[in-house]
Amino acid sequence: MTSTTTPPTGWIHQFEKGTSDLTLLLLHGTGGNETSLWQLGRELAPQASLLSVRGRSLEEGSPRFFRRFSDIRYDQEHLKSEADALTTFVQEASQHYGFDPAKGVALGYSNGANIAVASLIRHPESLAGAVLWRPVMPLEAPVQVPLTAKPVLITLGAMDPYRPYARALLSYLQDSGAEVQTEELSSGHQLTRQDLMLTQRWLQQHFSA
């Protein structure tokens, strides 16, 4: 598997066609790239198509999906424009590679989870669901949109220093009508085997992965 920027253009990415209708949109954390979650995605959903994307913002050379002013203060305009651009890219990629974008599920870690949240809120129709590992609410004063019955899995680390900043996201999703499953693990910000077990079970339950 090699990374490519052609076509659709604009985002460095990897794609592999699966045998099921499900497509996982893999979104790495800060400092990762399009290869970071690849093996996990294949392990979690062996039959799914995988579309893994590299964030276009750089922080001291480390790829991210949007700029930030501090660990918890984000460049709102850049966040929104990149969420919109990512949504457009996925639509173009679906036509180029031949997968159904309506059956796409975001699987994001940390910064990748946060761009998935922004994309879901700004374009609710763009994702069938989302797995959010260690997310926070990245948008300031987000517009409430209906996400009725849209399945979302959130895994949080009880000892994660970002854990308190997830409260606003949980409240938002609860008010949106999304079908949210929240799991708090005895961990920090890093991923654990329990995250993966919960995710695999959730994917099988909601998407027959």
User: Which residues are the active-site residues?
Assistant: 110, 160, 189
Classify the C-alpha dihedral 147-36-61-6 as positive or negative.
negative
Q: Write out the two tokens for 200.
A: 């695999």
3-state SS class at 130? strand
The answer to whether the beta carbons of residues 157 and 163 sit under 8 Å apart is yes
Q: Write out the two tokens for 110.
A: 């940390």
Q: Write out the two tokens for 186.
A: 């005895």
Torsion of Cα atoms, 47 then 93 then 106 then 80, to 10°:
180
